[in-house]
Amino acid sequence: MKVAVVGATGLVGTKMLQVLEERNFPVSTLIPVASERSVGKEIVFQGKAYTIIGMENAVAARPDLAIFSAGGSTSLEWAPKFAAAGTTVIDNSSAWRMDPNKKLVVPEVNAHVLTSADKIIANPNCSTIQMVVVLKPLHDRYSIKRVVVSTYQSVTGTGVKAVKQLFNEREKVEGEMAYKHPIDLNAIPHIDVFLDNGYTKEEMKMVNETKKIMGDEGIRVTATTVRIPVMGGHSESINIEFEQDFDLAELRALLAAAPGVVVQDDVANNIYPMPLTAHEKDETFVGRLRRDETQPNTLNCWVVSDNLRKGAATNAVQIAEYMLQRGLLPA
């Protein structure tokens, strides 16, 4: 299969190449694509050197699959051109997520909606992905009424510039700022732009994407998203109100059996999810499972996942794997 990775030199693009290789995705020809300043450089994939090319040449190469991680404006311009050439596009930007004609997919939750006619498929926001992986089995059993989520997000979610800012600050080095404030020894409750309703775009992504992925407009979601000086993954404190009451042991067993979920919930031995231990893993980790004692039918939990892997690269590759297995991509 001819596979293009668009944005191949970025943090997510680099991770996509790593995940494709680790999961032995059947790449016969790799087409690494990046901005003009990177064209002509080489990357190594599966022990072989490949030369980075530009967008027009990539479209002309007619790949079977193109995985995009190059920003919304690039996706809006180029994804339709790839699709018109017969390429299936899986896009990691926010460009197509809320388009009513495009599928927004987390394989563990709603891969069944995919068809061979889907030529542009949206990969959800990293924070949303890890949350819905945990919500899905609980919604199926107890029916979710409302979700209150606060996030604690890694600097890697912003990109290379933010990682550099964090380490520059730790080393007392002047440098380019990815954020409007210092990030080291700080927490910034500002991810993406502020909207007229006082929420950030990141917060509203979690609200709107959750409903679309879960296929239920009745789930009420409210979010506060925060950037913190960590690497390795995003963390989320989630309060979930159900229509039905739950038995905590049954709920824990449901999560343990759910695809892509690992329960780490042994507080007596200080075992709970953390970014440090989720780093470079594809699963979503859940722990600190406990009843909300202030109201009925309500759970508190703590969810962590590697935002570059499950939150971006791995989820995109899993979509491609599902489509290949179901004959929705050329073998």
Specify the pLDDT at position 156: 96
**Mind giving me the DSSP string for 136-153?**
HHHHHHH-EEEEEEEEEE
159: phi > 0 → left, psi -120 to 50 → alpha, else beta; which?
left
Residues 78 and 192 in one domain: no
- Please state the pTM of the whole predicted model: 0.96
CA distance 327 to 331: 7
**Residue 24 structure tokens:** 């032995």
Residues 76 and 42 in one domain: yes
Residues 77 and 90 in one domain: yes
Per-residue pLDDT tens digits for 93-130: 999 999 999 999 999 999 999 999 999 999 999 999 99
Specify the pLDDT at position 135: 98
Residues 183 and 282 in one domain: yes
299: phi > 0 → left, psi -120 to 50 → alpha, else beta; which?
beta
Tell me if 331 is assigned to some domain. no
Residues 101 and 189 in one domain: no
Q: Where residue 261 falls among pLDDT bands split at 50, 70, 90?
A: very high
Number of domains in the chain: 2
Residues 152 and 299 in one domain: yes
- Which residues face 304 on adjacent strands? 235, 285
Helix (H, G, I), strand (E, B) or coil at 24: coil
CA distance 41 to 226: 36
Q: Evaluate whether 146 touches 223 at the Cβ level (below 8 Å).
A: no
Give the CATH number, domain containing residue 30. 3.40.50.720
Per-residue pLDDT tens digits for 199-225: 999 999 999 999 999 999 999 999 999
Residues 31 and 178 in one domain: no
Per-residue pLDDT tens digits for 24-80: 999 999 999 998 899 999 999 999 999 999 999 999 999 999 999 998 999 999 999
Q: Where residue 302 falls among pLDDT bands split at 50, 70, 90?
A: very high
Residues 154 and 291 in one domain: yes
Per-residue pLDDT tens digits for 161-197: 999 999 999 999 999 999 999 999 999 999 999 999 9
Tell me if 330 is assigned to some domain. no
> Is pLDDT at 330 greater than 90 in this prediction?
no
Residues 319 and 288 in one domain: no
Average pLDDT over every residue of 10-35 = 96
Residues 131 and 161 in one domain: yes
Give the CATH number, domain containing residue 185. 3.30.360.10
Tell me if 39 is assigned to some domain. yes
Residue 77: its H or E element? helix 72-84
Helical packing angle, 126-142 and 248-257, nearest 10°: 130
DSSP for residue 65: E
Specify the pLDDT at position 331: 63
Residues 120 and 177 in one domain: no
Q: Which domain holds residue 271?
A: 127-307
Beta-sheet pairing, 284-291 with 298-305:
antiparallel
Residues 120 and 267 in one domain: no
CA distance 188 to 180: 9
Tell me if 286 is assigned to some domain. yes
Tell me if 144 is assigned to some domain. yes
Which amino acids are annotated catalytic? 126, 234
